[in-house]
């Protein structure tokens, strides 16, 4: 990886030089990002870095690239230079057709579209350097490297890059640990005293929530029957002989002995097995590297990097992306209280979304895919998060790809997930969804393991059949 990393750093330096020249020329910079945790982390890093550089800038989050194109058509997206974050690599030609020779920077980690860009464009993407955008580095990691190239003082944003990578599920290996370039960023944060890494059970609120509440709050992985159910979690913990209180004080995960943690782990697995779930899959998700952000207060949702990512997702997926960008950039105070309330409401909504899986018409099984039919019941902004939850729940057969969809007006938002074993067998969801969506009048793309699409509702049936066929073809069946 060392050669690829050095090539990436060279491209990062060129990107930073381009942005620095724009700042020197007093250009108005427009940051355009997606609305998930990785995108908001990337945007927050760039907002903080540009603020420190006394640059003139605006920041906007969009759910789909179409929203930005519409803003252009309405004349409300004027700027001297447009910087796309976690967005753009799959739409380079369309961007060029819309903005022409305007200065453009694309900082993205999704599979890139092959298109010869003009000299006034800069396109930073790890795939160009032989790195994998789904596991080696996310958009926030790229934004962090660019920010540090602008100024070494921007090392303070290393924790936010880690938050973004975890929000993008780049720790989904056998150890639940970030690797490759992400690991280098973690090391920098650890060296600066900003990040502390330990091996432990991955439960949210490990340092301040009562044990049963931490278990009920855990969403990565999603624990069917436990996530969102404090009463059930309380009964489980006490049935295992684990004391939930020490006098008048609630015990937290950090208070447990190794023996008690082992009891809790085995108890969770037994509970899931009793529900007929393949607990062995979830078991791999329950233990791994815990990333604590040492500058954040222990009682906030920002102390644990995975929970921080959930907070950003909550902001973006409820139409409050500006709150997430500000938090990622370093704003706290009353805004943090607002963000934490958004997170609690978001958790409640996602739990309700998961309950919809029990509807008879909720699941359609095809030869190579399992389709979750969200219809009009799911907020289309939350489809990708829901797909990630379902895929982490152990409820999807290992030989099938998950596809979730929801309707918005006369269009449909689609999100797909494949497990690593299918990717190793040749599945590339980003390529499949891009090709099929384009063929039916939509747009699509992403990674080999996770991808999304937006298409006319009238084309959904044709789209699903063709995707299922393409997956079978890639698997050689």
Domains identified in the chain and CATH numbers: 2-191 (3.90.1640.30), 199-350 (no CATH), 359-474 (3.10.310.40)
Tell me which DSSP letter residue 449 carries: S
State the Cα–Cα distance between residues 11 and 327, nearest whole angstrom.
28
State the Cα–Cα distance between residues 152 and 134, nearest whole angstrom.
26
- CB-based contact 463:437 (threshold 8 Å): yes
Say what the pLDDT of residue 396 is: 82
Say what the pLDDT of residue 23 is: 97
State the Cα–Cα distance between residues 260 and 266, nearest whole angstrom.
10
Of 323, 292, 315, the closest CA to residue 166 belongs to: 292
State the Cα–Cα distance between residues 133 and 445, nearest whole angstrom.
13
- CB-based contact 430:110 (threshold 8 Å): yes
The tens digit of pLDDT for each residue in 430-450 reads 999 999 999 999 999 999 999
State the Cα–Cα distance between residues 369 and 209, nearest whole angstrom.
38
State the Cα–Cα distance between residues 242 and 445, nearest whole angstrom.
46
Say what the pLDDT of residue 360 is: 80
Q: Which two tokens stand for residue 243?
A: 């004391």
Please identify every stretch of the chain with a pLDDT value under 70, giving residue numbers as ranges.
1, 76, 173-174, 477
Which residues neighbour 254 within 8 Å (Cβ) at sequence distance 6 or greater? 206, 207
Say what the pLDDT of residue 315 is: 97
Which residues neighbour 169 within 8 Å (Cβ) at sequence distance 6 or greater? 220, 388, 450
Question: Is it true that the peptide bond before 445 is cis, omega within 30 degrees of 0?
Answer: no
CA dihedral of residues 469, 365, 110, 331 (deg, nearest 10): 170
Say what the pLDDT of residue 282 is: 79
Interior angle at CA 39, CA 432 and CA 58, nearest 5: 125
State the Cα–Cα distance between residues 219 and 217, nearest whole angstrom.
6
State the Cα–Cα distance between residues 173 and 270, nearest whole angstrom.
23
Of 29, 34, 21, 82, the closest CA to residue 58 belongs to: 29
SS3 30: strand
Say what the pLDDT of residue 174 is: 65
E strands, 11-120, are 28-33, 56-61, 81-85, 103-107
Q: Is 394 left (phi over 0), alpha (psi -120 to 50) or beta?
A: left
CA 383 to chain centre: 12
The tens digit of pLDDT for each residue in 361-380 reads 889 999 999 999 999 999 89
């Amino acid at each position: 990886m060392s050669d690829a990393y050095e090539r990436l750093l060279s491209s990062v330096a060129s990107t930073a030089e381009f942005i620095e020249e724009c700042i020197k020329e007093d250009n108005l910079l427009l940051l355009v990002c997606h609305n998930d945790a990785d995108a908001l982390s990337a945007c927050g890093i760039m907002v903080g870095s540009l603020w420190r550089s006394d640059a003139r800038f605006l920041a906007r989050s969009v759910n789909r690239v179409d929203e930005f194109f519409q803003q252009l058509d309405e004349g409300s997206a004027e700027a001297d230079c447009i910087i796309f974050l976690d967005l753009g690599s799959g739409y380079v030609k369309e961007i060029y057709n819309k903005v022409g020779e305007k200065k453009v920077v694309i900082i993205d980690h999704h599979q890139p579209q092959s298109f010869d860009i003009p000299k006034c464009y800069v396109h930073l993407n790890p795939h160009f350097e032989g790195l994998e955008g789904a596991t080696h580095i996310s958009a926030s990691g790229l934004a962090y490297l660019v920010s540090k190239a602008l100024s070494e003082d921007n090392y303070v944003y290393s924790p936010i890059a880690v938050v973004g990578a975890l929000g993008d599920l780049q720790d989904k290996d056998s150890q639940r640990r970030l690797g490759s370039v992400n690991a280098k960023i973690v090391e920098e944060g650890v060296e600066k005293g900003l990040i502390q890494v330990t091996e432990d059970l991955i439960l949210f609120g490990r340092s301040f929530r009562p044990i049963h509440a931490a278990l009920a709050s855990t969403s990565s992985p999603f624990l069917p029957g436990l996530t969102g159910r404090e009463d059930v979690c309380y009964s489980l913990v006490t049935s295992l002989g684990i004391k939930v209180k020490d006098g008048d004080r609630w015990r937290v995960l950090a208070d447990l002995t190794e023996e008690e943690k082992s009891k809790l782990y085995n108890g969770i697995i037994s509970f899931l097995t009793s529900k007929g779930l393949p607990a062995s899959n979830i078991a791999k998700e329950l233990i791994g590297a815990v990333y604590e952000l040492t500058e954040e207060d222990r009682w906030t949702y920002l102390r644990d990097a995975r929970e921080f990512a959930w907070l950003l997702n909550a902001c973006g997926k409820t139409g409050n992306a500006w709150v997430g960008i500000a938090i990622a950039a370093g704003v706290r105070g009353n805004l943090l209280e607002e963000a934490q309330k958004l997170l609690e409401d978001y958790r409640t909504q996602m739990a309700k979304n998961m309950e919809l899986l029990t509807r008879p018409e909720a699941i359609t099984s095809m030869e190579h895919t399992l389709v979750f039919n969200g219809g009009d019941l799911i907020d289309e902004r939350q489809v990708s998060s829901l797909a990630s939850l379902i895929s982490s729940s152990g409820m999807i057969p290992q030989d099938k790809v998950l596809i979730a969809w929801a309707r918005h007006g006369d269009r449909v938002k689609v999100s797909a997930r494949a497990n690593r074993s299918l990717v190793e067998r040749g599945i590339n969801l980003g390529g499949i969804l891009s090709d099929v969506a384009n063929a039916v009048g939509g747009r699509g793309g992403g990674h080999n393991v996770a991808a999304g699409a937006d298409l006319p509702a009238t084309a959904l049936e044709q789209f699903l059949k063709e995707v299922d066929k393409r997956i079978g073809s890639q698997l050689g069946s």
